[in-house]
Amino acid sequence: MSISLTSIASIAASSVPHTFPQMRHKLDDLAADNACPLELLASVILSDPGASALVLSKAISAQHESKMVSTAVSRFGLSMVRGISLELQDIPGASRSLHAALWTQANACATMTRLLSKECHVVFEGAETPEQFHLIGLLHDLGSICAARHFTDGYIAAGKELQKKDGHTFGQCLRNQIGISNHDLGALICRSLRLPEIYMSCNRFHNRPEKATKYQNEVALIHIAKQLIVGCGFTVGGNSFIRDINEEAMARLHLHEEELMKVITAFFKSMDDISHFEGGLI
Amino acid sequence: MASTSSTPKQTSSPQTPVDKKKEQRILITQAQAGMLLARPILNASQVVICGAGMSLNEHIIHQLAIRGVKRIYVQGQPLPEPGQKPFGERLAELEQRFSRVHRSLLMRHLHQAIKDEMSKRS
């Protein structure tokens, strides 16, 4: 069932980031306490792709130059967090387990990206701090999050199609089902939220890093991080096959096999904290 | 995000040994009034701020959350476990995930490294 690109663009343009009700309640509780440390609020928001995307979008709309959630929260304070909590939409109960897997994968990618960035001996154009690497990992696949929310049946059908078709990517299967890949949909979401261009590049090209023309190092980093987390078991629905890691991406970041092995060990040690997104336990 | 060293934590080795089967590690957001702490909670200076056996109420849970406590050990098993799959099943899923690669040496080595890590942790 293909959907017209006009309809998809309209949904992407009007799509407000969503989250679990439990996350909204947690933000409400914390923001209601004037003694709540802003660092704690920022760390809660940074575990949630919907809330993080909305905070960044608000900060950019307010012409705040920071690309980090923590600095946006300290600049705008508790009132902004209350506003974010009101604006975030709730994930419907029926697709909550699917979203829990997507949230878990986003957090896994954020962790892997942060760990991997420490092993790269290159200068990154758009990301510098651990939080910035965390964010590009967390928000690398907003297209899948949007598709699972607004085109749930098509998203599930794409996973089933991928199981049957060797040689296809999930993006191709999703395009067959709804008319757009998760990569292009993610780029549309980034544009509608006015996120910095680095997020658009990472969303659009993380599956084919050789096509990126901007932020090529960050896109290569996300490409490798994504394959590694899929290999480690952080998959969603039928999108469950690791693909060959792009050799150009490895060369671009001066990464070798030894560094990947080191990062995998460190990643498994971090798994206790990200093995299951808390919202999925509701 | 992982806890930082400056945030309060629960001890990993309890002062009073507790049978592991009779405690559960849960997120602070999953804590409910009436649950009993299985292990004490220490602040960054290693001072006990909540002792083992303390009964939680909404005020205590909120205070722990704003002090950065992310996970606690409670007595019994009040929440269903997420359901760790048997090792054999996880291994079969690993083979499935790698079933469409194996063309390069790197991917074969990654496959083996992940398998080894899974074995170590099982």
The residue of chain A nearest to residue B25, with distances taken between CA atoms, is A272
Q: How confident is the model at residue A276 (pLDDT cuts 50, 70, 90)?
A: very low
* Domain spans in chain A, listed from the N-terminal domain onward: 21-90, 94-276
**Does residue A226 have a pLDDT over 80?**
yes
Region A217-243: mean pLDDT is 94
**Does residue A280 have a pLDDT over 50?**
no
* Domain spans in chain B, listed from the N-terminal domain onward: 9-75, 87-121
The residue of chain B nearest to residue A256, with distances taken between CA atoms, is B106
Q: Closest Cα partner for A112 from B74, B42, B110?
A: B110
* pLDDT for the residue A73: 92
ipTM of predicted assembly, 2 dp? 0.86
Q: B108 CB near a chain A CB, below 8 Å?
A: no
The answer to whether A281 contacts B121, with C-beta atoms less than 8 Å apart, is no
The answer to whether A276 contacts B82, with C-beta atoms less than 8 Å apart, is yes
The residue of chain B nearest to residue A31, with distances taken between CA atoms, is B66
Other CB atoms within 10 A of residue B116 CB: 14
Minimum-distance CB partner of A278 among B29, B93, B113: B29
pLDDT digits (tens, 9 = 90+) for A153-188: 999 999 999 999 888 899 999 999 999 999 999 999
Which residues of B fall within a CB distance of 8 Å from A264? 110, 113-114, 117
The answer to whether B82 contacts A281, with C-beta atoms less than 8 Å apart, is yes
**Nearest-neighbour CA in chain A from B8: distance (Å):** 12
Q: A97 CB near a chain B CB, below 8 Å?
A: no
C-alpha A264/C-alpha A241 separation (Å) is: 17
pLDDT digits (tens, 9 = 90+) for B31-40: 888 899 999 9
Q: How confident is the model at residue A1 (pLDDT cuts 50, 70, 90)?
A: low
C-alpha B79/C-alpha B90 separation (Å) is: 23
- Inter-chain contacts counted by CB atoms under 8 A, chains A and B: 88
Q: What are phi and psi of A245, to 5 degrees?
A: -75, 130
Mutation choice for B interface testing from A109, A112, A115, A261 by most B CBs within 10 A: A261
pLDDT digits (tens, 9 = 90+) for A59-103: 988 877 777 999 999 988 888 889 999 999 999 888 888 998 999
Contacts of B63 (CB under 8 A, 6+ apart): none
CATH 2.40.50.100 given to domain A94-276: no
Q: A256 CB near a chain B CB, below 8 Å?
A: no
pLDDT, greater one: B15 or A196: A196
Q: What class, spelled out in words, does domain B9-75 have in CATH?
A: alpha beta
Q: Where are the alpha helices (DSSP H) in chain A?
A: 5-14, 21-32, 38-45, 49-61, 69-87, 96-117, 130-138, 142-150, 152-164, 170-178, 182-192, 197-205, 216-231, 247-252, 257-274
How do B71-75 and B23-27 pair as beta strands? Answer: antiparallel
Region A118-139: mean pLDDT is 95
Segments of chain B scoring below 70 in pLDDT: 1-21, 80-84, 102
* pLDDT for the residue A279: 43
pLDDT digits (tens, 9 = 90+) for A242-264: 999 999 999 999 999 999 999 99
Average pLDDT, chain A: 89
* pLDDT for the residue B2: 33
* pLDDT for the residue A190: 94
